[in-house]
Amino acid sequence: MKTSLDCLPCFLRTALDGARMASVDSIVLERTMRVLLRWLSEMDMDASPPVVAQRIHRRLRELTGVDDPFQAAKEQQNRMALNFLRELKGEIEAALDPLAMAVRLAIAANIIDLGAKTGLADEDMLSALTKAVKEPVVGDLEGFRQAVAQANRILYLADNAGEIVFDLSDVPYNIFFLFKAKCPVIADHIGLPMGTHVLVHTGAGLLSKK
Protein backbone atom coordinates (compact mmCIF):
# COMPACT_ATOMS: atom_id res chain seq x y z
CA MET A 1 0.00 0.00 0.00
CA LYS A 2 1.43 3.33 -1.07
CA THR A 3 0.95 6.66 0.64
CA SER A 4 -1.71 8.79 -1.02
CA LEU A 5 -2.17 12.55 -0.96
CA ASP A 6 -5.12 12.03 1.38
CA CYS A 7 -2.70 10.67 3.98
CA LEU A 8 -0.79 13.95 4.25
CA PRO A 9 -3.33 15.94 6.36
CA CYS A 10 -3.53 13.02 8.79
CA PHE A 11 0.26 12.86 9.09
CA LEU A 12 0.41 16.58 9.80
CA ARG A 13 -2.39 16.50 12.35
CA THR A 14 -0.77 13.58 14.16
CA ALA A 15 2.57 15.39 14.21
CA LEU A 16 0.99 18.59 15.50
CA ASP A 17 -0.97 16.73 18.17
CA GLY A 18 2.16 14.89 19.24
CA ALA A 19 4.21 18.07 19.43
CA ARG A 20 1.54 19.72 21.55
CA MET A 21 1.28 16.69 23.84
CA ALA A 22 5.02 16.92 24.36
CA SER A 23 4.34 20.26 26.07
CA VAL A 24 7.02 22.05 24.07
CA ASP A 25 6.99 25.85 23.86
CA SER A 26 5.66 27.70 20.83
CA ILE A 27 9.12 28.24 19.32
CA VAL A 28 9.98 24.53 19.45
CA LEU A 29 6.50 23.67 18.21
CA GLU A 30 6.84 25.92 15.17
CA ARG A 31 10.35 24.67 14.40
CA THR A 32 9.19 21.07 14.72
CA MET A 33 6.32 21.57 12.31
CA ARG A 34 8.49 23.44 9.79
CA VAL A 35 11.01 20.60 9.77
CA LEU A 36 8.28 18.00 9.37
CA LEU A 37 6.56 19.98 6.61
CA ARG A 38 9.84 20.19 4.73
CA TRP A 39 10.44 16.47 5.22
CA LEU A 40 6.92 15.56 4.08
CA SER A 41 7.33 17.63 0.92
CA GLU A 42 10.32 15.48 -0.05
CA MET A 43 9.23 12.07 1.23
CA ASP A 44 8.90 8.96 -0.91
CA MET A 45 5.21 8.62 -1.78
CA ASP A 46 5.80 4.96 -2.65
CA ALA A 47 6.43 4.20 1.01
CA SER A 48 3.53 2.72 2.97
CA PRO A 49 1.65 4.93 5.48
CA PRO A 50 2.93 2.93 8.50
CA VAL A 51 6.52 3.43 7.35
CA VAL A 52 5.97 7.17 6.90
CA ALA A 53 4.23 7.42 10.27
CA GLN A 54 7.11 5.62 11.95
CA ARG A 55 9.60 8.09 10.48
CA ILE A 56 7.45 11.04 11.53
CA HIS A 57 7.25 9.75 15.10
CA ARG A 58 11.00 9.21 15.14
CA ARG A 59 11.62 12.78 13.96
CA LEU A 60 9.04 14.05 16.44
CA ARG A 61 10.93 12.45 19.31
CA GLU A 62 14.22 13.88 18.08
CA LEU A 63 12.87 17.40 17.61
CA THR A 64 10.92 17.65 20.88
CA GLY A 65 13.35 15.70 23.05
CA VAL A 66 10.44 13.65 24.44
CA ASP A 67 10.68 9.85 24.27
CA ASP A 68 6.96 9.38 23.68
CA PRO A 69 4.83 12.49 23.14
CA PHE A 70 1.70 10.30 23.17
CA GLN A 71 2.47 8.57 26.48
CA ALA A 72 -0.26 10.26 28.53
CA ALA A 73 -2.86 9.68 25.80
CA LYS A 74 -1.91 6.00 25.57
CA GLU A 75 -2.25 5.58 29.32
CA GLN A 76 -5.66 7.22 29.26
CA GLN A 77 -6.88 5.01 26.42
CA ASN A 78 -5.60 1.82 28.04
CA ARG A 79 -7.28 2.77 31.30
CA MET A 80 -10.51 3.60 29.49
CA ALA A 81 -10.48 0.33 27.54
CA LEU A 82 -9.87 -1.77 30.67
CA ASN A 83 -12.76 -0.04 32.43
CA PHE A 84 -15.11 -0.67 29.52
CA LEU A 85 -14.00 -4.29 29.28
CA ARG A 86 -15.05 -4.76 32.90
CA GLU A 87 -18.41 -3.12 32.17
CA LEU A 88 -19.03 -5.50 29.26
CA LYS A 89 -17.68 -8.57 31.07
CA GLY A 90 -21.13 -10.05 31.76
CA GLU A 91 -22.25 -9.83 28.14
CA ILE A 92 -18.95 -11.20 26.89
CA GLU A 93 -19.04 -14.20 29.22
CA ALA A 94 -22.69 -14.92 28.33
CA ALA A 95 -22.00 -14.93 24.58
CA LEU A 96 -23.11 -18.12 22.83
CA ASP A 97 -20.34 -17.65 20.26
CA PRO A 98 -17.19 -16.38 22.03
CA LEU A 99 -15.20 -16.04 18.80
CA ALA A 100 -17.89 -13.95 17.10
CA MET A 101 -18.08 -11.73 20.18
CA ALA A 102 -14.30 -11.36 20.27
CA VAL A 103 -14.24 -10.44 16.57
CA ARG A 104 -16.97 -7.82 17.08
CA LEU A 105 -15.08 -6.18 19.93
CA ALA A 106 -11.74 -6.33 18.10
CA ILE A 107 -13.31 -4.60 15.10
CA ALA A 108 -15.06 -1.97 17.22
CA ALA A 109 -11.87 -1.26 19.15
CA ASN A 110 -10.23 -0.02 15.95
CA ILE A 111 -11.86 3.29 16.80
CA ILE A 112 -9.05 3.63 19.37
CA ASP A 113 -6.24 4.93 17.19
CA LEU A 114 -4.14 7.97 18.05
CA GLY A 115 -2.98 8.10 14.45
CA ALA A 116 -6.54 8.54 13.21
CA LYS A 117 -8.20 10.39 16.08
CA THR A 118 -6.53 11.82 19.16
CA GLY A 119 -9.63 13.32 20.74
CA LEU A 120 -11.63 10.12 21.26
CA ALA A 121 -14.27 10.69 23.94
CA ASP A 122 -15.25 7.99 26.43
CA GLU A 123 -18.83 8.04 25.21
CA ASP A 124 -17.73 7.49 21.58
CA MET A 125 -15.77 4.41 22.53
CA LEU A 126 -18.47 3.00 24.81
CA SER A 127 -21.08 3.58 22.11
CA ALA A 128 -18.98 1.71 19.52
CA LEU A 129 -18.35 -1.23 21.85
CA THR A 130 -21.94 -1.46 23.09
CA LYS A 131 -23.21 -1.42 19.52
CA ALA A 132 -20.65 -4.02 18.45
CA VAL A 133 -21.86 -6.48 21.08
CA LYS A 134 -25.27 -6.59 19.38
CA GLU A 135 -24.31 -6.20 15.72
CA PRO A 136 -23.90 -9.19 13.37
CA VAL A 137 -20.45 -9.83 11.97
CA VAL A 138 -20.18 -8.84 8.32
CA GLY A 139 -17.79 -11.04 6.36
CA ASP A 140 -16.74 -14.66 6.19
CA LEU A 141 -16.81 -15.46 9.90
CA GLU A 142 -17.04 -19.20 9.27
CA GLY A 143 -14.02 -19.10 6.98
CA PHE A 144 -12.14 -17.18 9.65
CA ARG A 145 -13.27 -19.66 12.29
CA GLN A 146 -11.99 -22.59 10.23
CA ALA A 147 -8.67 -20.87 9.56
CA VAL A 148 -8.20 -20.16 13.26
CA ALA A 149 -9.18 -23.71 14.25
CA GLN A 150 -6.81 -25.27 11.72
CA ALA A 151 -3.81 -23.13 12.64
CA ASN A 152 -1.22 -24.71 14.92
CA ARG A 153 -0.52 -21.32 16.42
CA ILE A 154 -1.30 -17.68 15.67
CA LEU A 155 1.00 -14.77 16.46
CA TYR A 156 -0.92 -11.56 17.07
CA LEU A 157 1.18 -8.39 16.82
CA ALA A 158 -0.56 -5.86 19.04
CA ASP A 159 -0.23 -2.25 17.97
CA ASN A 160 -2.54 0.45 19.29
CA ALA A 161 -2.92 1.34 22.94
CA GLY A 162 -6.43 0.67 24.23
CA GLU A 163 -7.27 -1.45 21.21
CA ILE A 164 -5.00 -4.23 22.48
CA VAL A 165 -7.38 -4.85 25.39
CA PHE A 166 -10.07 -6.08 22.98
CA ASP A 167 -7.89 -7.88 20.43
CA LEU A 168 -9.11 -11.50 20.65
CA SER A 169 -7.54 -11.78 24.09
CA ASP A 170 -10.02 -14.26 25.53
CA VAL A 171 -10.87 -16.74 22.77
CA PRO A 172 -10.09 -20.43 23.33
CA TYR A 173 -7.57 -20.83 20.51
CA ASN A 174 -3.82 -21.16 20.29
CA ILE A 175 -3.17 -17.43 19.91
CA PHE A 176 -0.06 -15.69 21.17
CA PHE A 177 0.17 -11.93 21.68
CA LEU A 178 3.43 -10.09 21.22
CA PHE A 179 3.61 -6.57 22.59
CA LYS A 180 5.73 -4.21 24.64
CA ALA A 181 4.38 -3.02 27.99
CA LYS A 182 5.25 0.61 27.26
CA CYS A 183 2.40 2.04 29.31
CA PRO A 184 2.39 1.86 33.13
CA VAL A 185 -1.34 1.09 33.05
CA ILE A 186 -0.81 -2.10 31.02
CA ALA A 187 2.41 -2.97 32.88
CA ASP A 188 0.61 -2.73 36.21
CA HIS A 189 -2.37 -4.68 34.89
CA ILE A 190 -0.26 -7.64 33.75
CA GLY A 191 2.12 -7.41 36.71
CA LEU A 192 5.33 -6.92 34.73
CA PRO A 193 7.89 -4.09 34.65
CA MET A 194 7.27 -1.30 32.17
CA GLY A 195 9.27 -1.80 28.99
CA THR A 196 9.00 -5.60 29.12
CA HIS A 197 8.49 -7.37 25.79
CA VAL A 198 5.64 -9.79 26.40
CA LEU A 199 4.71 -12.96 24.54
CA VAL A 200 1.57 -14.32 26.13
CA HIS A 201 -0.93 -17.05 25.31
CA THR A 202 -4.61 -16.10 25.30
CA GLY A 203 -5.25 -18.73 27.95
CA ALA A 204 -3.10 -16.83 30.42
CA GLY A 205 -5.85 -14.23 30.76
CA LEU A 206 -3.39 -11.41 31.38
CA LEU A 207 -5.20 -8.86 29.26
CA SER A 208 -8.66 -9.51 30.63
CA LYS A 209 -8.06 -10.27 34.28
CA LYS A 210 -9.83 -8.23 36.92
For the stretch 55-110, pLDDT in tens is 888 888 888 888 888 788 778 877 877 887 777 777 777 878 878 888 888 777 77
**What average pLDDT does the segment 31-49 reach?**
86
Which pLDDT score, from 0 to 100, does residue 206 have?
46
21, pLDDT greater than 50: yes
Last residue of a domain, one of 23, 45, 64: 64
Q: What are the strands of the beta sheet with 154-157, ordered from one edge?
A: 154-157, 175-180, 197-201
- Domain-located, residue 45: yes
Q: In the chain, how many domains are there?
A: 2
156 with 190, same domain: the answer is: yes
- Among candidate residues 25, 49, 64, the one where a domain is terminated: 64
Contacts of residues 24-29 at CB distance under 8 Å and 24 or more positions apart, as own/partner, are: 24/64, 24/65, 24/66, 28/63, 28/64
How many other C-beta atoms are found inside a 10 Å radius of the C-beta of residue 150? 7
Question: In terms of domains, do 40 and 82 share one?
Answer: no
Nearest CA to 164 out of 92, 90, 114, 97 is that of 114
Residue 5 has pLDDT above 50, yes or no: yes
Assess whether 102 and 154 both reside in one domain.
yes
Q: Tell me: pLDDT of 199 over 80.
A: no
Least confident of 3-12, 127-136, 162-171: 162-171
Percent share of the chain, pLDDT over 90: 1
- 209 inside domain: no
Enclosing domain of residue 17: 7-64
Is the pLDDT at 130 greater than 50? The verdict is yes
Q: Is residue 192 part of a domain?
A: yes
- Strand pairing of 175-180 and 154-157? parallel
Tell me: do 103 and 163 sit in the same domain: yes
Closest CA to 108 of 86, 89, 84: 84
Mean pLDDT score across all residues of the chain: 76
Give 111 or 26, the one with higher predicted confidence.
26
**1 or 140: which leads in pLDDT:** 140
115 and 57 in a common domain: no
